[in-house]
Structure 1
Amino acid sequence: MEGGRAEGARAPALFRRANREFEEREEDDGENSSSTEDIPPEHLGLKTSEETVPPKPKVRVLGEDLAMSSIHVPEREGPSSSMAAEVATAVKDMKRFMGEFNVDLATVTQAFLKNSGEVAAVANCLQTGQRSDGYPLWNRQDDVVLLKGQEGDRNNLETKYGVENVSKRVGFRTS
């Protein structure tokens, strides 16, 4: 995987908003904090290729529903142009996954959130319902523990997710 491509899939502002919605949705659903390693994709809220995609996927931006195809990221000069390029790459990846796995925008967004924005991990998650490295998908409860920053709790998370994955998650959640 190219270094720039992994960074481009992060789109910080897009994922910050999606993280908030992810957390609110899990609070509403009362999601259990148990491991999702052995749960089939359909029980994770991930759709299989047999299910249909809505004709025009929509994303909510500042209270307004927009068709995914109508999103255009303007090219700019200066410091914000790199962020615009990251957002454009993320939108491109999300559209590709929606078509490739025949899932909706919410499913793709959830997969990105549960895999710290890593494109390869998202692809595997959408295909199998789990991470390719054998670690569990991130959940809201572990994010809360991680962001509290207590050393003992971090050690437990490193045992559960791996040291490298915890470091990546910290970067993902604070970006």
Structure 2
Amino acid sequence: MKNRWVLFVPLAIMGLLFGAFIYRLVTPAETLIQSQWIDKPMPLFDLPPATAGVEGLKSSQLADGRPRLVNVFASWCIPCRAEAPQLEALKAAGVPIDGIAIRDRPEDVAMFLREYGNPFDRVGADMQSSVQIALGSSGVPETFLIDGKGIIREQIQGVILADQVPEIVAKLEAMK
């Protein structure tokens, strides 16, 4: 009987370790890194228009007294296409939205805005991702909630989902 326990205990320990290993393997780690700019003014920038027919974007324009969104996107970004209807819904709800196009050609930005809609008041071209890097943005799409004084209050990493739209509208309303 004692020999059975000697055999069973190491097997049980090995089974638990294997189970823990598999659990960690299939459970994603928290990989979201928040911007160092939360609760700070937007970094200074002056971006040219991303394409013809749109106004460029300056950080000074974000402190006009109206809370708004700044959406970091790219025409080549598949998730950005999926996010487009939610941005249109936010625009329809009266939310001012500015865009920063990352590493994109003007003709591609124009095609993206024609095909998926243009919810943006202004779209700046960040050809070298310098503003994206300064914001601590880790990819596209990424959206920042900016208060009326130009202070970054929240960062949304990844696609804005349809069920987040009312929450975002409420947060921006509360900033007024």
TM-score by length of 1: 0.30
Between structures 1 and 2, the one with greater strand share: 2
Between structures 1 and 2, the one with greater helix share: 1
TM-score by length of 2: 0.30
Larger C-alpha radius of gyration, 1 or 2? 2
